[in-house]
Amino acid sequence: MTEILEPAVPADAPPPKKRRRWGRMVLYILATLGVLAIALVVAIAVKASKEPPLVKIDEAASIDESMTRNYGKYSAEKKGWVYVDESNEPFLVRVVQQARIEAVGASDELYFVTSGSSLGASGRNFFGVFQIRSDGKGGDGLVEISDPHRYGSAVPVTPERVRFEALSESGWAWVVKVQSGVDPKQERVEVSNVMLAPHGDNIALLASFKASADAEAGDCLQANIDHASWIKQVAHYESLPEDAPSEEVAAGEALSEHEPLRCEHARWTYGTAAVVGAQPGPLTVTAKGTQYAAPLEARTWKIMFDNKAFVYNVPPELTVE
């Protein structure tokens, strides 16, 4: 039988080449990246499940609940909430401003202002400011930060008397125009800007400064003369000795309570700074108009915010009298 012979391999032939494993390495890398991607998705899902849900506020329901709790029942006939204060005086209360703040990645915040008008003969009025936000406990609970009864306005607060201002990236404030006096022919009518904002668990008074002043005194030059005479008389009574007759003391007190009018038609307009950070920027206030029969000095103030005290440093010349 014939033998099968293997072909002879030359002694100087190179060794056989090993197979490349690059393909296998690529598969290993792709598999590793896939595992990492899955782990990342799982981690994101776990983190999201642990974070509290973002709260979305139902404006109508939240306002109705808050108004009923603070002011009483809603009257369909009067189209408002009927509130009776501590002196048993009835008021009709309505919402005159509302805004819901919807921020990306944050729960809603609801802001609104109420106005209460007397239903009695006193003519008193009040307003209230409210913020409703998440209670921060991880559920859908809400908390109310409010000041429901701020008295002191001679006329009701109406929508045009309220401005809602952005002061910082996360801070908002109300500016409510509050009026003293009604008829400029009978008394000095002064309007002030009252700036309020939520701060922690309270409503903070950020500033109170002049907005306008009006008085009609007929002959303005004669009114100045009469006012100067009145100042001299008041000074005389203030200098009376302690044992002065009671009639003179009473006359002096009556005189000091009836300051004669001088002509006024003054305006102080304000502006807020552009929102550029976490802290409120300055306010600018500019004066114009006439006062005491002469043009009001043209001037602009820059009012800085004191973050530590959480107030604006209003100068004395802008302080409400």
211: in domain: yes
Q: Are residues 147 and 103 both part of a single domain? A: yes
Would you say 293 and 224 are in contact if contact means Cβ atoms under 8 Å apart?
Answer: yes
pLDDT of residue 47: 45
- Which of 189, 216, 243 is the C-terminal boundary of a domain? 216
Q: Are residues 202 and 146 both part of a single domain? A: yes
Q: Would you list the DSSP string of 186-217? A: TS-EEEEEEEEEEETTEEEEEEEEEEEEEE--
Would you say 245 and 264 are in contact if contact means Cβ atoms under 8 Å apart?
Answer: no
317: in domain: no
Q: Are residues 120 and 194 both part of a single domain? A: yes
Q: Are residues 137 and 153 both part of a single domain? A: yes
131: in domain: yes
245: in domain: yes
Structural domain boundaries enclosing 97: 59-216
Q: Are residues 85 and 148 both part of a single domain? A: yes
Q: Are residues 103 and 224 both part of a single domain? A: no
Sole residue written with tokens 């045009």: 160
Sole residue written with tokens 């391999």: 9
308: in domain: no
- Which of 216, 242, 267 is the C-terminal boundary of a domain? 216
Q: Are residues 100 and 154 both part of a single domain? A: yes
Q: Are residues 63 and 210 both part of a single domain? A: yes
pLDDT of residue 281: 94
Q: Are residues 145 and 229 both part of a single domain? A: no
Q: How far apart are CA 46 and CA 63, in angstroms?
A: 35
Chain Cα centroid distance, residue 35: 50
Q: Are residues 95 and 230 both part of a single domain? A: no
- Helices 220-238, 246-256: axis angle to 10 degrees equals 140
pLDDT of residue 121: 81
Predicted model pTM = 0.79
Report CA-CA distances (Å) from 111 to 108, 114, 226: 10, 10, 48
141: in domain: yes
112: in domain: yes
pLDDT of residue 51: 54
Q: Are residues 166 and 182 both part of a single domain? A: yes
272: in domain: no
Q: Are residues 110 and 201 both part of a single domain? A: yes
Q: State the total domains in the chain.
A: 2
- Output the tens digit of pLDDT for each of the chain's 321 residues: 445 455 555 555 555 555 556 666 666 666 666 666 665 654 444 444 455 678 889 999 999 999 999 999 999 999 999 999 988 999 999 999 999 998 767 788 999 999 999 998 888 999 999 999 988 887 778 999 999 999 888 999 999 999 999 999 989 999 999 999 999 999 999 999 999 999 999 999 999 999 999 999 999 999 999 999 999 988 888 888 877 788 877 877 888 788 899 999 999 999 999 998 889 999 999 999 999 999 998 899 999 999 999 999 999 999 987
